[in-house]
Amino acid sequence: MRTLILLTLLGACWAQFDPNVQSGRTAIVHLFEWRWADIAAECERYLGPNGFAGLQVSPPNENAVYYDPWRPWWERYQPISYKICTRSGNEQEFQDMVARCNDVGVRVYVDGVINHMCGAGGPGGTQSTCGSTYYPGKEDFPAVPFSSWDFNDGKCYTGSGNIENYQDATQVRNCRLVGLLDLALEKDYVRGKVAEYMNKLIGYGVAGFRLDAAKHMWPGDIQAIVNKLNNLNTRWFSGGAKPFIFQEVIDLGGEPITVNEYTGIGRVTEFKYGQKLGYIIRRWNGEKLSYLKNWGEGWGFMASGKALVFVDNHDTQRGHGPGGASVLTFWDSRLYKIAIGFMLAHPYGFARVMSSYNWPRDIQNGQDKNDWVGPPANSDGSTKPVTINADSTCGNGWVCEHRWRQIRNMVKFRNVADGQAFANWWDNGSNQIAFGRGNKAFIVINLDDWQLDATLQTGLPAGTYCDVISGQKEGSGCSGISVTVGGDGKARFQISNSAEDPFIAIHVDNKL
């Protein structure tokens, strides 16, 4: 009985770190700006069957509408109310999506914008996705309702009222992030309204939340809101399951606010991951793949069980937020596939894959002039549906990285390797590396300017395996490279430095 109580208490403490995924599923995808109807279909036709654990959606609540620039993606980070009503769809479509995804074992995580409402200079009137009236100049949002009492101004001491200096933790929390009206989250009324919104979504079956701009909220305020959240819907989750929480805190070092202030509440985004992996895979600053041997905590990252990891996100792929030019994206597809392949093979952190739309990138002096361009849209501003081509790629301007064979198959690799130890590391002291996961899976990468030819200990049982990067098992055959593992667990790998994808990944589910 005492053990039971202890376990229950431990469970309660650790609950927000648990993504509530179905067993055997390990990675999620951010379907940035997708419509709810398209996501529901994608869960059924692709994410469920291919072993994806879940997905992150763009903010579902009503936002300000901008025409200058024309319908930027970032308008969704300017809340007007907590009505479920955006370019992605309405409340009924949202509910339908969550239910259909859960029914095929795919979890939904909501991007929760709870630090602020719209910009102080927002358009106002009824320029909002659901037509709710609001007055940014008076800090009046009748559709919630929030009034000027519910904002932080009195506690911000910068001249502009905005965050001017990230070295001052108080202004980072109490002043406006890029002019966004900063909610007074220490007020019980404000906490209550936010929790009411999140609980509505929990009721529909969402499994957790990304907390946008968590750095700009006091950890105690976030904890108080999390404490008000209901348990997950028992139609899909076991009784007592708590929502998964991952907080967006950008900590690359050098600022007083660190991730450690937030890791007690839930998981935290590890921004060092994509930035540093970008440097290594681009081989910038003399970095080498062999340095990845102690990747993870050995690199000064937070504990693995606290981290949400990703190569790029919707900000860093277009130069918003941190990371800079090193971050790899679909624009650098060859290196990007290697970065994602490495992330999904490596046990560190809970992994998120990005799924983007295309935009007319226009880099001048290191800045993308078109960093604001919103999702593929019709002339009336409505978001275009995601169409699926005969070769299973996406149309209408959607990139769908998660459907690239190499990425999709590495999600499966991660599922097969789940719970298996990092093992059998090998490197050539330069940019050729290999490692395995217990006796289930093995990956070899060549980013040197010469051929890789090595006989390596894979840890796998003897047999012939089909490489899931160049192809995959098709019936009893293999559409890619075949690798033969001997009775001693060793196999010879040859990877040309000019191969389209200079890496090989094998696992026990693709044994021929």
Min dist CB 167 to ligand AAO, Å, is 10
Check if 248 is active-site: yes
The token duo for 380 is 């009336």
Min dist CB 138 to ligand AAO, Å, is 16
- Whichever of 9 and 178 has its CB closer to ligand AAO, that residue is 178
- Whichever of 248 and 501 has its CB closer to ligand AAO, that residue is 248
For residues 132 and 83, the answer to whether their CB atoms sit within 8 Å is yes
Report DSSP state, residue 284. Answer: G
Beta strands 89-90; 503-507: pairing state: unpaired
The token duo for 454 is 């090595």
- Whichever of 131 and 322 has its CB closer to ligand AAO, that residue is 322
Min dist CB 134 to ligand AAO, Å, is 13
User: Residues 75, 139, 221, 248: which is the catalytic one?
Assistant: 248
The token duo for 334 is 């060859």
- Whichever of 105 and 179 has its CB closer to ligand AAO, that residue is 179
Tell me how far apart the alpha carbons of residues 265 and 260 are, in angstroms, rounded to a whole number. Answer: 10
Check if 75 is active-site: no
CA angle, 86 as apex, 84 and 90 as ends, to 5°? 50
User: Residues 150, 212, 287, 418: which is the catalytic one?
Assistant: 212
- Whichever of 74 and 435 has its CB closer to ligand AAO, that residue is 74
Min dist CB 441 to ligand AAO, Å, is 32
Contacts of 370 (CB under 8 A, 6+ apart): 359, 360, 361, 362
The token duo for 21 is 């995924």
Dihedral of CA 317/391/382/81: which sign? negative
Min dist CB 440 to ligand AAO, Å, is 35
Tell the residue number behind the tokens 């590495």, with chain if given.
Answer: 410
For residues 482 and 466, the answer to whether their CB atoms sit within 8 Å is yes
Measure CA of the first residue to CA of the last residue in the chain; give whole Å. Answer: 48
Rg (CA), the chain: 23
Beta strands 463-466; 477-478: pairing state: unpaired
Buried b (16+ CB within 10 A) or exposed e, 33-52: bbbbbbbbbbbeebbbebbb
Q: Which residues bind to ligand AAO, rule: CB under 6 A?
A: 74-75, 77-78, 113, 119, 121, 166, 177-180, 212-213, 215, 248, 250, 252, 255, 315, 320-322, 324
Min dist CB 371 to ligand AAO, Å, is 8
Contacts of 145 (CB under 8 A, 6+ apart): none
Min dist CB 22 to ligand AAO, Å, is 27
Q: Give the H or E element holding residue 268.
A: strand 267-269
Tell me how far apart the alpha carbons of residues 74 and 87 are, in angstroms, rounded to a whole number. Answer: 12
List residues with catalytic annotation.
212, 248
